[in-house]
Structure 1
């Protein structure tokens, strides 16, 4: 894809996109825009360039930078080596109005493992750094925690069902953005908990890419990395009965780590089971586990976020 075509593909909302009950575009055309967003332009052997969607907020969504950086790393690795882990730091807010340059450092190519480091650069400064490890398929010991007993996604309301008129007025920018990821809340959303009072530091949602993705395993991993930055820190907010934009709360992702345990498809339902074991020093820690509908644990996430409640 040329840069002009890629920018056009990721810049606006497709005119043929269906709209949910609350008027927000979703479905395959919107998901295709996310796929285009992750289709980086190679400008040198180990240097790539990505853009942000036209509907971005004041700073680039962290999941977008993580997903794009993982794409950059993966494009320098043989396809038979799958991602098994990533560790990342959010260094500066990203500027959605200019492209992001991803510089890949080929740290190591071993017999079984490949290691890459990626730095995302804007305005001559690093905004994000990621280390990713890839591994050839191997057999070994097998065990996993069981999936929590929760209702299925079809039994739960859609985001369009949850977004009331009051919520649209309060979160006009966030609730009107196109939704490439279908999210269904199992637990009470944190924006509801701020009215009902603090609850357990837990957040559970079903999510999936809202359409059909190509069969490329790297793309499915990158889409899950993109989605993993959604709803994770809500487990912290629920514990304190506050929410972004409605209370005097400042926050941002600080670092993010993921481990991929088993194959999965990001366009099939996965349960994102999130909890917060601790918050202190203006920071909050959240952990997440992704389960397939069959109960397979496919990925684990840990993130620390800035959390200042004034």
Structure 2
């Protein structure tokens, strides 16, 4: 994970400005989850070790290029008795890519409750290769580091068919984990979880929009781009063990779609919640379906 992040201070000894390089998501497009993860790691370095991330809220301002330097600037906003707040800006060249705020807190004792994990087949019973996995990776550049560091086991049927969990809604389930063992540092597991949180939520918002076009994948028929992304960290977990990632998309329209998701341990503990709004537009011509997805999309 440290090698994937590859952050270094812009100035020796600096604590508020770092630089790194992000891997590709789609063609000519940096993976947004990587930018979020690097921004969160930078912010973590400016708070006391006794505080851990409780939430983050990110707005994607522009598409980044993979394999090009991204600079991260941190501005402390608050250091209270329990909570601390940081603002992080990701910049590539003269263009701001991401504006993110992250909240950190000290642990507190008290009542603890959460809903029951949805039913899902165990990850060991699902194929590591096949149609469902190929569909999952269909929008990720074949050479991207994401394919090397993340393992996925989609629940068969959820990603192929538009499974209706309520009238007008869509949902799907998949198991995810980081390949290999991560360190015991909880910071690295929070960062790794944020890296995974942007993998597929946008495409879940697109489920149902493919019916009229005879199926296919979102990349063939739709422009998709993350607009904003929020995440709440409820409990610690290990991201090098399987986590169930459950998506729900309650609505789409007006060129936008909304998806929420939860991460669960295999023991049934709810560890994080994610919400994302995505740009969702149909391609204008049949010829456009053959162009690389999102290579020339500007949010707006």
Q: Distance in 1 between matches of 2:222 and 2:265?
A: 33
Q: In the aligned structure 1, how far is the partner of 2:171 from the partner of 2:72?
A: 34
Cα drift, residue 202 of structure 1:
0.6
Provide Cα deviations, 1:149-177, integer angstroms capped at 9, x if missing partner: 1110000111x333799x79x94963554
Q: Is the 8 A contact 1:203 1:234 kept in 2?
A: no
Question: 1:120 deviation in Å?
Answer: 0.3
Single out whichever of 179-188 and 265-274 deviates more from structure 2. Answer: 179-188
Query: What secondary structure sits across from 2:257 in the alignment?
Result: strand
2:179 aligns with one of 210, 225, 249: 210
Secondary structure of the residue aligned to 2:130 is helix
Q: What is the match of residue 189 of structure 2?
A: 220
TM-score normalised by L of structure 1: 0.81
Aligned-partner SS, 1:78: coil
Could you tell me which residue of structure 1 aligns to residue 244 of structure 2? 271
Among candidates 252, 257, 278, match of residue 230 of structure 2: 257
> What is the CA-CA distance between 1:111 and the residue it aligns to?
0.8
> Residue 269 of structure 2 aligns with which residue?
296
The residue number in structure 1 matching 2:20 is 50
1:130 paired with 2:103, answer no
The whole-number CA distance in structure 2 between the counterparts of 1:117 and 1:303 is 19
Given the alignment of the two structures, is residue 86 of structure 1 paired with residue 56 of structure 2, yes or no? yes
| Structure 1: runs of 5 or more not aligned | 1-33
| 1:158-307 alignment, distance < 5 Å | 158=128, 160-162=129-131, 171=138, 174-175=141-142, 177=144, 178-188=147-157, 190=159, 192-193=160-161, 198-200=162-164, 201-241=170-210, 243-246=217-220, 248-307=221-280
Identify if the C-alpha distance between structure 1 residues 202 and 211 changes in structure 2 by more than 3 Å, giving closer, same or farther.
same
Q: Distance in 2 between matches of 1:71 and 1:214?
A: 14
Q: CA deviation at 1:47?
A: 0.1
Cα displacement (A) at 1:45 = 2.5
**Are the structure 2 counterparts of residues 39 and 77 from structure 1 closer, same or farther at C-alpha, using a change threshold of 3 Å?**
farther
Q: RMSD in angstroms over aligned alpha carbons?
A: 2.2
**In 2, are the aligned partners of 1:104 and 1:118 still within 8 Å (CA)?**
yes
Relative to structure 1, the CA distance from residue 45 to residue 96 in structure 2 (aligned partners, 3 Å threshold; closer, same or farther) is same
